[in-house]
Structures are given as structure tokens and as C-alpha cells.
Amino acid sequence: MASKVRNLRNTHTKQSLINAFYSLVSKKDFEKITIADITKEAQVNRATFYAHFNDKYDLIEYLMGDFASVSINNRTSGIVKFDQDSINQLVLAVLDFYQQPNIECRGSYGGLMLPQMKEKILNELKIFLSKSLEHIYTENEKNMFVPIFAQIIHEGAVQWASGNITMSKEEVAKKIALFITGKSHFFEGH
């Protein structure tokens, strides 16, 4: 019982630190946020912060990994399949991930975090795709196609988000899903 209470307390404390960070990042540039700011906002001491995270970069990395997996889980309902609907949902999940409302890109924060964000979402896409292709492709084929499919899904979402594509995000997701699953007449001009 004591272990369960301790785990619950740790989870609550970690969430307090995360909430404090969200509060601060909406008011200050990321570079100007200190551990002292976070601990003061969360009403915990520095040792408590360091019991959960190495530094503020570790905290943001944790958040991005969590956002990436939650975005994919929310869109796929945790069902791992390789079909048009799943790929469609993965494209939409990438868009959700980049449109997280919890962290505003203030100052140089956005430019600082974009490579890490891309790495996190690509990693989560690869995990999903690898599981979904388990009984479809050999290990060698998976090793070849998983990174390619992940890049296609990611790039399609990024192209739409950057305004380079005039279709709706749902249309883009559908076309990418058709292309990846091989059911597209993409090359036939249809």
C-alpha cells in the first residue's frame, strides 16, 4: 500500500512540475525559464525537480515524447493496424502533435525544439508502423519500409501545415494513406 501511495505522490508531483512549466512557458521565453522558476511555480524544492528531471531540456524532451505517443494513441485508439484508415490517422496525429496548444513557441524556443519534435514524432511513427507491419513484411523489409513510410507520413503533414498544399488536411491524409498502402492510382494521373 505504501508503494502505491508513493507512486501516486510521484505522479502528482511530476504533473505539478509539468503544469508549472506550461504556465511559465506561456509567459517567458524558454531560455529565461530557470529551475528555480519551475520549482517556485510548482511549490516544490529543487531536489524534488531533480528527482524527476535532469534539467529543463529533459523536462521538455519528456513532454514531447509524451505528446507524440498520445497524439498517435488518440488518433488510432490504440489499435495497431496497417491499413488506409490507420495511415490516415497517423498523418492527422502528426498534425495534432505539431499543433499542441500547451506550449507556445516563444522567442527562439520554436527553432530550438523543432529538430527534437521531429525526432520524437518520427520515432513514435516507426514504433507504430513496425508493430503494424509485423506479420506483413519480413524483418529486412520492415527495416527498409518503416523509416520510408514514417518520413512520407511526416513530410505530408508538414507540407500541409506549412501551407504548401491547398487541400484539406483530411484529403492530404487520405491521399498519403492510399499512396502508402499501394491502393492509389497516383502514378496513373487519376
Please give the domain boundaries of the chain with CATH numbers for all domains.
1-53 (1.10.10.60), 56-188 (1.10.357)
pLDDT digit string, tens, across residues 27-77: 888 888 999 999 999 999 999 999 999 999 889 888 887 888 999 999 999
* Mean pLDDT calculated for residue range 133-143: 93
Res. 26: pLDDT tops 90: no
- Which of the pair, 159 or 107, is modelled with greater confidence? 159
Cell of 37: 522558476
Judged against a pLDDT cut of 80, whether residue 129 lies above it is answered with yes
Share of the chain above pLDDT 90, in %: 53
Cell of 134: 509485423
Q: Alpha-carbon Rg of the chain, whole angstroms?
A: 19
Please give the DSSP secondary-structure letter assigned to residue 188: G
What residue type is assigned to position 167 of the chain?
A: M
Which one of 20-29, 69-78, 91-100, 114-123 scores highest in mean pLDDT?
Answer: 69-78
Question: What one-character DSSP code corresponds to residue 27?
Answer: T
What distance in Å separates the CA atoms of residue 179 and residue 182, rounded to the nearest whole number? 5
Which alpha helices (DSSP H) does 26-138 contain, by range?
35-42, 46-52, 56-76, 84-98, 109-132
pLDDT > 90? residue 179:
yes
Confidence grade of residue 107 (pLDDT, cut at 50, 70, 90) = very low
Instruction: Average the pLDDT over 20-29 and give the result.
Output: 86
